[in-house]
Amino acid sequence: MAVSVRMDPLLEKELELAARRQGITKSQFIVDAVERALGRKNPYELLMALKLEEKSAEYKAVGKAFEGEEKPYDTSRSRAAIVKKLKAKHGGRAG
């Protein structure tokens, strides 16, 4: 169902920028906002559902499927390289 909404040009520009930052359309941004306002999309409830899902055996089985595999991104080595570059650029103040 299509709905047309009139709004102040400044508010529409803010809407456009906020949607762009999130990588979604203005329509999807508005739908998400209405769902939250109606209590259909409560961020706290979504977080609790995710935490519950993470405890499930099925969720843990997915992680085990990749056990022993080489990790594509070595965070420790990457962090060390970034810190080294920052120290070189900023005179040792990074840490």
pTM beyond 0.75: the answer is: no
Q: List Cα–Cα distances, 42 to 27, 28, 54, 56, 90, in angstroms.
A: 19, 16, 19, 22, 43
Q: Token match 């965070």: residue?
A: 75
Q: Token match 């709905």: residue?
A: 3
Burial of 41: CB neighbours in 10 Å, binned 0-12, 13-18, 19+? middle
pLDDT tens, 7-55?
999 999 999 999 999 999 999 999 999 988 888 878 888 888 888 888 8
Tell me how far apart the alpha carbons of residues 14 and 12 are, in angstroms, rounded to a whole number.
5
**End-to-end Cα separation, the chain, in angstroms:** 54
pLDDT grade, residue 58 (50/70/90)? confident
